Amino acid sequence: MGKLRPLSQNKIIKILEKNGFKLARSRKHFTFKKSKDNRILTTFVPHHKEITVFVIQYIIKQAEKPREEFEI
């Protein structure tokens, strides 16, 4: 298992879009949504150049994605 490190906002967005998330709204944060098993998964990406590990962990939990997709 690799190590989580801060990633650029663009990298996070590309990972989410690759996994079927669509941009729903852009206000204080980018809001991404995806339909999965009759549920709607929602996650948020802040408007920052670099996203911290803490926020990445939160995105992983909300998006129900494996941690390995966000590791370097």
pLDDT (tens digit per residue) in 12-56:
999 999 999 999 999 999 999 999 889 999 999 999 999 999 999
- Predicted confidence at residue 18, as pLDDT, reads 94
- Predicted confidence at residue 23, as pLDDT, reads 96
32-37: long-range pairs with CB below 8 Å, 24+: 32/63, 34/63, 36/64
Say what angle helices 53-63 and 9-18 make with each other, to 10 degrees. 10
- Predicted confidence at residue 2, as pLDDT, reads 78
Task: Give the helix ranges, DSSP H, for the chain.
Answer: 9-18, 53-63
Closest by alpha carbon to 55, among 44, 66, 64, 65? Answer: 44
**Beta bridge mates, 39:** 36
